[in-house]
A = this chain, B = another copy of it.
């Protein structure tokens, strides 16, 4: 057997994590990574901060560029799109920026194609490029710098909210439109209301329950307005902050299985069932949700990095397991920080899981300590046992990272009764003598 060759499709978090750990584990294997864009290992999460000007140089979003990966012994081919995978022949068809195609063999394969923004099925939608990559972010920022005083953001999820804030930071008048009846569908409506308050407090006009019916474009094809059933919002800039779908077209065409979530089916070793030596990781793959006990597709850099790493270990003869996810996420939205983990009341209802739930409002510091501000904590627990199933936090600085405390509690199956008496830290700059999480746990325990 000659030298083994590991091919990676996709050069961002999952793909390059796989490549990097494989390189460290096996000095002999040949590793080639194909990325259709110009960059590798970038922070898509940082794009709103670059668009808003909080980060001035797009290069800072690149945690490791192609040259660095090459110096580490990974053959990175940027502006190279994999257009076909032949699993039987173990061969990729790759198209370069100039349109030439070549065949590339592999022994092991990691599919890390990520997710792609999907234009809504309305007229004009094609005129908007979702800012999901660094180069798309650069094009958006360049457009903003050319002028214009108003913007419409379509979609009020966390990316839409971060984009709206970024545009307000640039001095634009911003309207954010979503067909849902609340912002941030990952939160329950009551908690999402506080986030909406924060966005509106910054000056964003939030229009909810309004489906966008058309992106109105001028003769040159540039967007000039966004039309809903009731209103037409003129805009110098239109930004889409709506969700994305796992980018699985290539892999599905090759015969890899899709799960119910629409993402690539993998086992807990990131293996694609039925295809030895073929792995998938990141936004294009499924994960096991430990609370819902079903496969889900959650597109986050943190999962992509971990899964990519595990794929890279297992592609080079190792045996590591990805233990699954519990839906932990955090974001900063205007004056509030927002965190969530496990399941909320709405998710519980749609999964047919009975829960008890309590929400408390407290302050992030001792009342007398300067800088104290509001924090809301909502907990969701299993009736009877009191096992914590999920938590949501909204509040001022210092609020959101407390979600990790709840994440460990959900992960380990802790009950709210036990949490209520747990030895959490206290000092006046960080909380009242009862941490808000303890107060929320006690309030929830009372309902059992």
- Spell out A's residues near B (CB within 8 Å): 13, 43, 45-46, 49, 54-55, 60-61, 63, 300-303, 305-306, 322-332, 337, 339, 341, 366-370, 397-398, 400-405, 407-409, 411-412, 414, 418-419, 421-431, 433-435, 437
Q: Are A424 and B404 in contact (CB under 8 A)?
A: yes
Instruction: Give, as a whole number of angstroms, the nearest-CB distance from A326 to chain B.
Output: 5
Q: Are B425 and A330 in contact (CB under 8 A)?
A: yes
A405 cross-chain contacts in B, Cβ below 8 A: 404-405, 407-408
A61 cross-chain contacts in B, Cβ below 8 A: 368
A418 cross-chain contacts in B, Cβ below 8 A: 323
A419 cross-chain contacts in B, Cβ below 8 A: 408
Q: Are A428 and B328 in contact (CB under 8 A)?
A: no
| Bound-state Cα–Cα, A435 to B339, Å | 15
| Bound-state Cα–Cα, A3 to B403, Å | 47
Q: Could you give 29 example pairs across A and B, Cβ below 8 Å?
A: A43-B368, A46-B366, A46-B428, A49-B368, A49-B369, A49-B428, A55-B368, A61-B368, A301-B426, A302-B425, A305-B433, A322-B421, A323-B418, A324-B423, A327-B423, A328-B425, A329-B426, A330-B426, A331-B427, A332-B427, A337-B429, A341-B423, A397-B397, A398-B401, A401-B402, A401-B425, A407-B425, A408-B419, A412-B414
Instruction: Give, as a whole number of angstroms, the nearest-CB distance from A227 to chain B.
Output: 32
Instruction: Give, as a whole number of angstroms, the nearest-CB distance from A336 to chain B.
Output: 12
A412 cross-chain contacts in B, Cβ below 8 A: 408-409, 412, 414
Closest 6 pairs (CB-CB, A-B): A330-B425, A60-B368, A302-B426, A412-B412, A408-B408, A332-B429
| Bound-state Cα–Cα, A368 to B44, Å | 12
Instruction: Give, as a whole number of angstroms, the nearest-CB distance from A48 to chain B.
Output: 9
Q: Are A325 and B433 in contact (CB under 8 A)?
A: no
Q: Are A43 and B423 in contact (CB under 8 A)?
A: no
A46 cross-chain contacts in B, Cβ below 8 A: 366, 368-369, 428
A426 cross-chain contacts in B, Cβ below 8 A: 45, 300-302, 329-330
Instruction: Give, as a whole number of angstroms, the nearest-CB distance from A327 to chain B.
Output: 7
| Bound-state Cα–Cα, A63 to B428, Å | 12
With A367-B60, A428-B43 known as contacts, the answer to whether A422 contacts B408 (CB < 8 A) is yes
| Bound-state Cα–Cα, A82 to B301, Å | 61
Task: Indicate the member of A322, A330, A405, A423 with the most B CB atoms within 10 Å.
Answer: A423
Cβ contact of A408, chosen from B369, B397, B414, cutoff 8 A? B414
Instruction: Give, as a whole number of angstroms, the nearest-CB distance from A89 to chain B.
Output: 34
A408 cross-chain contacts in B, Cβ below 8 A: 405, 408-409, 412, 414, 419, 422
Instruction: Give, as a whole number of angstroms, the nearest-CB distance from A320 to chain B.
Output: 8
Task: Give the nearest-CB partner of A47 in chain B.
Answer: B428
Q: Are A423 and B326 in contact (CB under 8 A)?
A: yes
Q: Are B423 and A302 in contact (CB under 8 A)?
A: yes
With A368-B61, A369-B46, A418-B323 known as contacts, the answer to whether A425 contacts B400 (CB < 8 A) is yes
A414 cross-chain contacts in B, Cβ below 8 A: 408, 411-412
With A43-B433, A405-B404, A433-B305 known as contacts, the answer to whether A425 contacts B329 (CB < 8 A) is yes
With A43-B433, A418-B323 known as contacts, the answer to whether A425 contacts B49 (CB < 8 A) is no
A429 cross-chain contacts in B, Cβ below 8 A: 332, 337
A433 cross-chain contacts in B, Cβ below 8 A: 13, 43, 45, 63, 301-302, 305
Task: Indicate the member of A45, A427, A437 with the most B CB atoms within 10 Å.
Answer: A427
With A305-B434, A398-B398, A433-B302 known as contacts, the answer to whether A404 contacts B425 (CB < 8 A) is yes
Q: Are A422 and B407 in contact (CB under 8 A)?
A: yes
Q: Are A45 and B425 in contact (CB under 8 A)?
A: no
Task: Give the nearest-CB partner of A329 in chain B.
Answer: B425
Cβ contact of A430, chosen from B401, B423, B435, cutoff 8 A? B401
Q: Are A45 and B435 in contact (CB under 8 A)?
A: no
Instruction: Give, as a whole number of angstroms, the nearest-CB distance from A275 to chain B.
Output: 24
